[in-house]
């Protein structure tokens, strides 16, 4: 223990020295989202201007702080002044900001979006966490993301890192389980099963060898919570693994992570090496009598391996296919030994609970749904990104207060990824908790929220998600293997204008059968997108099958695009993006669209700022004439 205390004290001194640095400190959001937005070009420009001007400054690459719509993000801390954040920075602006602020002392407030001081506005710049997207949030799991260098264990130690596991060693396994029970932590992987209960079953199961697995196989389209967590604060997840393994009596841990996450894997490997160096892995960790080590297992990206028994098969070197339960993994899992599988976010929460206590954790969320939940907020929302909110916050608050709503009228929100459901406007005041979402026909899932507006076709969305899950099915059970294929075929016919009213009954019956008969969670939840859209957006299905048109002008076979002359300004933006040359016309004059050349890619429709591109479906009948939120029945189906 004394060895740990010495390293912690040294880390705190180095951290304090960084906070009071006599040279500027430049923070760059260098997670995958920042890199995709161009932060590495910004880094190159910053290094160039520092060389050319012979300036001294420290550069720190952090993880994702949350608001992806502001990427690339660059922050600068000048000695004695608060950290200032600059958003949507390109490489040219980066040079301008560095030269202006570091050389001339002008912080370029017109380019700044926020500061991290304790007071209100600073030189007219608001506090970063007073921005509309960030103010309603509550950061528990993400407390370090965007603030520390994820590749420096000292940064984590200086911010109370590994104090949770040290407290666990003092408490003993039984009291740790009791503390997690009192906190009310439920699995953040989607099912919401009480964490302590799984642990207790595993601990009480006979067997000398037990395993602890971190499920980082995040495969939902549009979801990036787990990846961002690992990229921004890997030690929090690893400390959570130590706590969980100590509680259940496991000596070996595995992190199952998809190979498509190279940066997250790199940072995990680095962090595990640092843990070994600091005596936080291996034999008799910090003189506690506890032995534990961690191995990284890279998955091939199979969505079904998010299911725990399929994940276990993959680690064992077998094909990733689920098996019947019971026995559950907590009793008989990896190599037929008792095994616990916890999600990245579940593990990242544990150090906070052990460090601060169960009562502290219970202040967040609602009764039965304690704590916070991270979400990836994406789609047609103004402010996209990674968020963390208390459970019980409504969908309306998340979408409109945090996300800023949609530019065009809101239509639906998909919760829980491809296994979740599409909820209409009538559900906006639904609390985001496990029971409320399940009652609406959806699920919490791991935390994906996809926002849709009136330009989204729910039939097309259902087809997309069913096609995804059908292709990701392992094929072991026929309800999922055969049933999902039939659902996809029916939906495809409907989007092509070949559907019949009786197809809606087929979709309902087949979806219900697949849910009841499938072996694992993939098949049991796969029909959710079609069942919820049938339930809440039935008139849109009827438009496709009876009137043969797509109200959102998305389904290619049901729409023909054209230019509205009285709205067209001749700006030629549509001409520049048309891949087939179907749109022609001189600048400042209404353009023409040759339907014979048009491949209906929607590029012109998406880029037009004047609503001068329309589809026949929109012209024939407006989406306002279709009551999306109503669950109407039709005698023909």
Is the pLDDT at 482 greater than 50, yes or no? yes
Mean pLDDT of the chain: 93
Share above pLDDT 70 across residues of the chain, in percent, rounded to a whole number: 96
Domain 458-547 listed as CATH 1.10.10.10: no
**Spatial separation of the C-alpha atoms in residues 22 and 17, rounded to whole Å:** 9
pLDDT: is 50 or 122 the higher one? 50
User: What sign does the dihedral 456-457-462-465 (CA atoms) show?
Assistant: negative
**Domain boundaries, given as residue ranges, for the chain:** 15-130, 162-362, 366-453, 458-547, 556-620
Q: In what order do the strands lie in the sheet with 448-453?
A: 385-390, 372-379, 448-453, 410-415, 421-424
- Per-residue confidence (pLDDT) for residue 3, from 0 to 100: 84
DSSP conformational letter for 433: S
3-state secondary structure 43-109: HHHHHHHHHHCCCCCEEEEECCCCCHHHCCCEEEECCCCCCEEECCCCHHHHHHHHHHHHHCCCCCH
The pLDDT tens digits for 593-623 are 999 999 999 899 889 999 899 877 543 343 3
Is the pLDDT at 222 greater than 70, yes or no? yes
Residue with structure tokens 């809440």?
536
pTM metric for this prediction: 0.92
**Spatial separation of the C-alpha atoms in residues 235 and 344, rounded to whole Å:** 11
Domain 556-620 listed as CATH 3.30.70.20: yes
The pLDDT tens digits for 576-597 are 999 999 999 999 999 999 999 9
- Per-residue confidence (pLDDT) for residue 121, from 0 to 100: 77
Which CA distances in Å does 80 have to 24, 73, 423? 10, 21, 49
**Spatial separation of the C-alpha atoms in residues 594 and 160, rounded to whole Å:** 64
User: What sign does the dihedral 197-199-200-205 (CA atoms) show?
Assistant: positive
- Per-residue confidence (pLDDT) for residue 190, from 0 to 100: 77
The CATH number of the structural domain formed by 15-130 is: 3.40.30.10
The pLDDT tens digits for 107-158 are 999 999 999 998 877 888 999 999 999 999 999 999 999 999 999 999 999 9
Residues sharing a CB contact under 8 Å with residue 61, sequence separation 6 or more, in sequence order:
28, 30, 43, 149, 151
In which element (H, E) is residue 211 found? strand 211-216
Q: What is the mean pLDDT of residues 91-96?
A: 94
Residues sharing a CB contact under 8 Å with residue 592, sequence separation 6 or more, in sequence order:
563, 583, 584, 585
Is the pLDDT at 244 greater than 70, yes or no? yes
- Per-residue confidence (pLDDT) for residue 504, from 0 to 100: 97
Q: What is the mean pLDDT of residues 175-192?
A: 94
Tokens of residue 561, six digits: 């695009």
Is the pLDDT at 2 greater than 70, yes or no? no
The partner residues of 449 in beta bridges, in order of sequence, read 377, 415
- Per-residue confidence (pLDDT) for residue 617, from 0 to 100: 56
Peptide bond into 409 cis (omega under 30): no
Neighbouring C-beta atoms of residue 456, cutoff 10 Å: 21
Q: Which fold has domain 162-362?
A: Rossmann fold (3.40.50)
Is the pLDDT at 625 greater than 60, yes or no? no
**Spatial separation of the C-alpha atoms in residues 472 and 481, rounded to whole Å:** 10
The pLDDT tens digits for 505-551 are 999 999 999 999 999 999 999 999 999 999 999 999 999 999 998 99
Of the candidates 155, 152, 151, 146, which has an alpha carbon nearest to the alpha carbon of residue 39? Answer: 146
- Per-residue confidence (pLDDT) for residue 619, from 0 to 100: 39
Is the pLDDT at 624 greater than 70, yes or no? no
**Spatial separation of the C-alpha atoms in residues 481 and 603, rounded to whole Å:** 35
**Spatial separation of the C-alpha atoms in residues 347 and 257, rounded to whole Å:** 14
Residue with structure tokens 């999600």?
343
The pLDDT tens digits for 263-316 are 999 999 999 999 999 999 999 999 999 999 999 999 998 999 999 999 999 999
CATH: 3.40.250.10, 1.10.620.20, 3.10.20.600, 3.40.50.1980. Which one for 366-453? 3.10.20.600
């Amino acid at each position: 223990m004394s060895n740990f205390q010495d390293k912690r004290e040294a880390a705190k001194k180095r951290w304090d020295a960084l906070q009071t640095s006599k040279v500027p400190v430049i923070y760059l959001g260098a997670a995958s989202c920042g890199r995709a937005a161009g932060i590495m070009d910004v880094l190159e420009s910053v290094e160039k201007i520092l060389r050319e001007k012979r300036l001294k400054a420290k550069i720190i690459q952090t993880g994702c702080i949350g608001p992806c719509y502001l990427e690339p993000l660059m922050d600068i801390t000048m000695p004695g002044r608060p950290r200032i954040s600059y958003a949507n920075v390109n490489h040219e602006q980066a040079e301008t900001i560095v030269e202006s602020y570091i050389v001339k002392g002008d912080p370029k407030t017109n380019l700044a979006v926020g500061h991290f001081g304790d007071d209100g506005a600073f030189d007219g710049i608001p506090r970063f966490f007073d921005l509309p997207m960030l103010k309603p949030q509550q950061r528990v799991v993400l407390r370090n993301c965007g603030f520390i260098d994820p590749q420096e264990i000292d940064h984590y130690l200086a911010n109370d890192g590994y104090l949770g596991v040290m407290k666990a060693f003092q408490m003993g396994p039984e009291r740790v389980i009791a503390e997690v029970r009192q906190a009310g932590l439920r699995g953040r992987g989607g099912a919401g099963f009480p964490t302590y209960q799984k642990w207790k079953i595993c601990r009480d199961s006979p067997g000398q060898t037990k395993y602890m697995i971190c499920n980082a196989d995040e495969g939902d389209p549009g979801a990036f919570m787990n990846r961002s967590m690992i990229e921004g604060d890997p030690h929090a997840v690893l400390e959570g693994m130590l706590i969980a393994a100590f509680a259940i009596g496991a000596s070996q841990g595995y992190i199952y992570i998809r190979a498509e996450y190279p940066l997250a894997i790199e940072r995990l490997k680095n962090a595990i090496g640092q843990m070994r160096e600091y005596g936080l892995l291996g034999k008799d960790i910090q003189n506690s009598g506890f032995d534990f080590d961690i191995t990284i297992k890279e998955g091939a990206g199979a969505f079904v391996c998010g299911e725990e028994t399929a994940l276990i098969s993959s680690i064992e070197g077998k094909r990733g296919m689920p098996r019947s339960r019971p026995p559950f993994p907590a009793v008989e899992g990896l190599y037929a030994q008792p095994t616990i599988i916890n999600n990245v976010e579940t593990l990242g929460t544990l150090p906070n609970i052990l460090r601060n206590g169960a009562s502290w954790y219970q202040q967040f969320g609602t009764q039965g749904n304690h704590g916070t939940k991270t979400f990836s907020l994406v789609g047609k929302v103004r402010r996209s990104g990674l968020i963390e909110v208390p459970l019980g916050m409504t969908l309306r608050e998340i979408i409109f207060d945090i996300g800023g709503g949609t530019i065009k009228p809101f239509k639906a929100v998909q919760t829980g990824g491809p296994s979740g459901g599409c909820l209409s406007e009538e559900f906006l005041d639904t609390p985001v908790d496990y029971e409320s979402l399940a009652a609406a026909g959806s699920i919490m899932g791991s935390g994906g929220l996809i926002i849709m507006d009136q330009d989204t076709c729910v039939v097309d969305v259902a087809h997309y998600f069913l096609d995804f899950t059908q292709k990701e099915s392992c094929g072991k059970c026929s309800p999922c293997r055969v049933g999902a294929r039939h659902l996809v075929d029916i939906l495809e016919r409907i989007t092509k204008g070949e559907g019949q009213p009786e197809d809606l009954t087929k979709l309902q019956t087949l979806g219900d059968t697949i849910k009841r008969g499938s072996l694992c969670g993939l098949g049991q939840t796969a029909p959710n997108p079609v069942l919820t859209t049938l339930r809440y957006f039935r008139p849109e299905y009827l438009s496709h099958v009876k009137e043969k048109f797509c109200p959102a002008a998305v389904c290619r076979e049901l729409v023909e695009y054209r230019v509205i002359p009285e709205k067209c300004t001749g700006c030629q933006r549509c001409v520049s993006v048309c891949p087939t040359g179907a749109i022609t016309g001189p600048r400042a004059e209404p353009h023409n669209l040759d339907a014979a050349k048009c491949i209906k890619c929607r590029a012109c429709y998406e880029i037009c700022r004047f609503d001068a591109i329309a589809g026949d479906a929109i012209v024939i009948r407006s989406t306002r004439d279709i009551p999306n939120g109503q669950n109407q029945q039709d005698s023909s189906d």
